[in-house]
Amino acid sequence: MTWRARRSGQDTFTHAGDGYSLRLLYLHMITEHARHNGHADLLRPHIDGVTGG
């Protein structure tokens, strides 16, 4: 499979014996990314003094 292969959100995979959908994986990745961006927003004023966006 290449990176350009088309997949559906309904496609599933197994990890540690449990089945997951690709949609669940995408949801997890998006929420984790948003959570860590929020952490960076809180820390930035303390690092370089820049506030706001």
pLDDT of residue 53: 58
**Boundaries of every domain in the chain:** 12-48
Q: Write down the pTM of the prediction.
A: 0.56
pLDDT of residue 6: 81
For 30, the token pair is: 């998006």
Residue appearing with tokens 């706001």: 52
Whole-Å CA distances, 28 to 35, 39, 48 = 11, 17, 30
Which tens digit of pLDDT belongs to each residue from 3-50? 667 888 888 989 899 999 999 988 999 988 888 787 777 777 778 776
